[in-house]
Amino acid sequence: MASTVIHAIYSDDDVLMNAVKEVRKKHLHINEVYTPFPVHGLDKAMGLAPTRLAITAFLYGCVGITVATLMMNFIMIEDWPQNIGGKPSFSYIENMPAFVPIMFELTVFFAAHLMVITFYMRSKLWPFKKAENPDVRTTDDHFLMEIDATGKDGKELADFLVTTGAVEINLIANEA
């Protein structure tokens, strides 16, 4: 079965935001919006669910502080205790104030690096991946809204999108 999508191209981000709201009012499904820069509030206008990346950042930070604590306890207390400047090396708790900078740095290190890896995996941005951008102008100065038009009148939908401020409308038929 063939699926049909309409690519509506806009030249201004404010016009795009209003168009997204109008398209959502007509209960049309927006597959994707391609923009040359992040548009504040577009995710809410499209009705996308909030991201859970902040939760993963917290969990990755917890992993980092756990690794830091276990690493410093093993290295500085159990494996090779040293008398550095008269500092007691009998227990981790007695030395914890000296270890706070390392705990902080490893918390940030783990959270940052694992967040980048998670973002790339969730976005499916693998090395040497071919770009999926349908129109090269969306990397420069245009905005593209891709709307599912399967089973809908393409002419009527195109006329509606022109009223929302689209500067160009393209009907794309995909063979599945």
Q: Single out the residue of 78, 75, 81, 80 nearest to residue 102, CA to CA.
A: 75
Which residues lie closer than 8 Å to 173 by C-beta, 6 or more apart?
2, 3, 4
Q: How high is the pLDDT of residue 2?
A: 65
3-class secondary-structure state, position 25: helix
Q: How high is the pLDDT of residue 176?
A: 54
Q: How high is the pLDDT of residue 175?
A: 63
Task: State whether CATH 3.30.70.120 applies to domain 3-36+141-174.
Answer: yes
Domain boundaries, the chain: 3-36+141-174, 53-123
CA pair distance 31, 146, nearest whole angstrom: 5
35-76 pLDDT, tens digit each: 999 999 999 999 998 888 889 999 999 999 999 999 998 988
To the question of pTM greater than 0.85 for the whole model, the response is: no
72-101 pLDDT, tens digit each: 989 888 888 777 777 777 777 877 888 899
104-144 pLDDT, tens digit each: 999 999 999 999 999 889 888 888 888 888 888 888 999 99
CA pair distance 67, 71, nearest whole angstrom: 6
Q: How high is the pLDDT of residue 130?
A: 86
Q: How high is the pLDDT of residue 101?
A: 93
